[in-house]
Amino acid sequence: MNDRQFPATVKESKRLQEEAYRFRSEEIPPHHADKQLLVSSYKEILKMALALPVRIEEEYKAESIEASWATMMKAFQERDRALKDHLARLGDLEGVAEKLRRNIKECDRALESISSRVFEEAKRVHKVNPLEPNYPVEQLEKELKYEEERITSMLKDAKYLLEEGYPRAAELHKQVLDLQQRHAEIALDFKTKVLDVLEDRRAKAQRKPLTEAELIASNPSFRFLHECIEWCKEKQRKIASAGFAADVFSLAKQLDEQRGENGEIAAFQSKVD
């Protein structure tokens, strides 16, 4: 009756409860009747004992029998209450465990779906207009946040089951940790392959075009192109401003100068090519 070590499972604890019910309904009534008979017969037994004379041991006296019976019934009732409390606690743990199993399955399916859509979105993000609303990406963000909160709640439930000694708590806790790891990996893929790419494309699309002076100062290729154009303009101005000499000697000199210019232009063309 003083044993308070109960089984860890609902099934075994209910078996003990059934045994307690049988004890209450089948064993206590006949023993209670025997006890009542002994108590009611005690006066006659006492007279016989005094007449012989015979000493009645203390444990056989009516008061002792009543006290022993009361002690036994009190212990039985306390154990019965403790067993009911234990079953209620196990029922609570089983309810938490069942909710946790259900959430594990739902989270597993959700992460599978999210992972597949992140993969597709990582390909699509290079083609969409980065300045327009992107509802698929926003939905993925919401779902990842929801699953993160769900996993946090599941970890609390799994920790509670561990602390309370639920039989399969360690297994459930490991399953939640596995989901947490998967979520972290998917979230990282989503950030690096979708959000960061989209943000980079959006920043480039919103960037103010550089002025010609800024391009010349910052871009070596553009600076070279600018120098080529300026060289061409300068040659055009020089050729346009040149007149024709009035005598043969001056014309010969101009021809030599023009040949030099032609050489420079040919050299420049090869440099540009």
Nearest partner of 244 among 253, 231, 233, 235, judged by Cα: 253
Cis peptide before 136 (omega within 30 of 0): no
C-alpha 249, offset from chain centre: 93
167 near 99, Cβ under 8 Å?
Answer: no
The reported pLDDT for the residue numbered 1 is: 44
| 204 vs 207: CA distance, rounded Å | 5
What's the predicted TM-score (pTM) here? 0.56
Among the residues of the chain, which ranges form H helices?
Answer: 10-22, 28-51, 62-124, 135-163, 169-190, 196-206, 212-218, 220-241, 248-272
Q: How many CA atoms lie within 13 A of 14 on its CB side?
A: 5
115 near 184, Cβ under 8 Å?
Answer: no
Question: What is the chain's length?
Answer: 273
Give the residues of the chain that fall short of pLDDT 50. Answer: 1-4, 6
Phi/psi at 98 (5° precision): -65, -40
Q: What's the pLDDT tens digit per position in 70-97?
A: 777 777 766 777 767 676 777 778 888 8
24: DSSP letter:
I
CB atoms within 10 A of CB 107: 21
Cis peptide before 53 (omega within 30 of 0): yes
Nearest partner of 268 among 238, 235, 239, 222, judged by Cα: 235
The reported pLDDT for the residue numbered 60 is: 65
